[in-house]
Amino acid sequence: MTVPGAWYLVLAAVLFGLGATGLLIRRNVLVMFMCVELMLNAVNLTFVTFARLLDDVGGQVSVLFVLVVAAAEVVVGLAIIVAMFRRRAAATADDIHVLRG
Amino acid sequence: MYAGFLASAASSGTDLANASAWAVFLVGAAMILTGAFGVILLRNPVHCALMLVITLFGIALEFIDQSADFLAAVQIIVYAGAIVILFLFVIMFLGVDRREAAGPEATKFQKPIALILGAVSLVEILILSQVDHWVSGAPSVAGRLDGPGENVQKLGQSIYTRYLLPFEMTAALLVIAVVAAVVLSRRQQPGASELRAADKEKLVVGPGGAE
């Protein structure tokens, strides 16, 4: 344990803040999705850091589950975006404020 | 803090290990922050996806630095190999890269408010972390991470014993996601017995034509 865990946690917090800011700033749905991925990765980094600090394998197992859930989320989300584009060519989140087809 | 660590290191062997760990950490952090800023600031979605790859590789570096070797490999395979490729495929499939909309903002104050909110959330997290103990709680609840044995072995043993039910549930979740993706992206075709409006008009029976 050479680099103190606090450095990783601060880095993860900064990454999470950047992801949240990007999610709020960008209007393209795909880029908003990528910002969600950034936030998920920040949480993964936190999990791994706590697993190391607490000497607990549960943190790394949680990262594995987060990976699976993120993959499923991306698949369904991109399918929704593709279905949305079929109906109307809209790339921004403002164009899809109505939930019906 | 770095100098203190180096000074407290007893032998040159741990000295070198410290220095290399710090080097890996700093390179990974630089990659992560560069990629994150790129995702946020670049206008072309393809460039955003490529910047996301840089961030993901940086995260993998930090995983390696904390001796989570298996997770680093999975991170690169799943994220950079599958998820980003899926992103790029959808971007190019839909042709969003050519059509970056520069339309008027729906709300004029969206960007300033978003910046303020992002800064506030970041500051909140950093303030919350300013406690004496970064970590509290019982160590090694789900099993030890250090000690003899490989990282993959410990992860596998934990997943297939203690976390067996969540593991099975992720399998079900993946199947559901695949089915949902197929259903969502399938083109809606009229059924065999359904008639479209144009066909119905042809079927209007004229006078005397009916039996």
pLDDT of residue A7: 87
Distances (CA, A) of B211 to B27, B199, B203, B204, B206: 84, 20, 14, 13, 11
CB contact under 8 A, B45 and A69: no
To the question of pTM greater than 0.95 for the whole model, the response is no
Torsion angle of alpha carbons B160, B165, B167, B172, nearest 10°? Answer: 140
Which of B89, B110, B184, B188 should be substituted to probe chain A, the one whose Cβ sees the most A Cβ atoms within 10 Å?
A: B184
pLDDT tens sequence for chain B (211 residues)? 555 554 554 556 777 888 889 999 999 999 999 999 999 999 889 999 999 999 999 999 999 999 889 999 999 999 888 899 999 999 888 876 655 555 555 567 778 888 888 888 888 877 877 766 777 778 777 778 877 778 888 899 899 999 999 999 999 999 999 999 999 888 766 555 555 666 666 665 556 544 4
A26–B180 C-beta distance less than 8 A: no
Q: Cβ separation of B90 and A13 shorter than 8 Å?
A: no
The full set of domains in chain A, from first to last, is 5-100 (1.10.287.3510)
ipTM of the complex: 0.90
pLDDT at B24: 93
- Spatial distance between the Cα atoms of B18 and A98, rounded to a whole number of angstroms: 54
pLDDT digits (tens, 9 = 90+) for A31-74: 999 999 999 999 999 999 999 988 889 999 999 999 999 999 99
Task: Report yes or no: B68 and A60 within 8 Å, Cβ to Cβ.
Answer: yes
- pLDDT value at position B93? 85
Determine the Cα–Cα distance for residues A71 and A68; give it in Å rounded to an integer: 5
How far apart are the C-alpha atoms of B53 and B36, rounded to whole Å? 10
- Which of A13, A28, A79 faces B185 most closely, judged by CB atoms? A79
Whose CA is closest to A14, among A40, A51, A42? A42
pLDDT of residue A85: 80
Residue B136's pLDDT is: 76
The pLDDT of residue A2 is 78
**Strand, helix or coil for residue B190:** coil
What pLDDT is recorded for position B9? 47
pLDDT at B211: 44
Beta carbons of B18 and B5 less than 8 angstroms apart: yes
| B106-140 tens-digit pLDDT | 567 778 888 888 888 888 877 877 766 777 778 77
Residues contacting A30, CB < 8 A, separation 6+: A81, A91, B45, B48, B87, B90, B91, B96
- Kindly report the nearest CA distance between residue B109 and chain A, in angstroms: 11
Is-contact A47 A66, C-beta < 8 A?
yes
pLDDT score of B195: 59
Cα within 13 Å of Cα(B180), Cβ side: 16
Report the half-sphere exposure of B65 (CA within 13 A, side-chain side): 26
Average of per-residue pLDDT across A14-39: 90
Residue A17 has pLDDT above 60, yes or no: yes
Say if the Cβ atoms of A17 and B96 lie within 8 Å: no
Burial B119-152 (b: 16+ CB within 10 A, else e): eebbeebeeeeeeeebeeeeeeebbebeeeeebe
Check B173 against A68: CB less than 8 A apart: yes
Q: Which of A31, A20, A65, A21 is nearest to B101 (CA)?
A: A31
Phi, psi of B164, rounded to the nearest 5 degrees: -70, -45
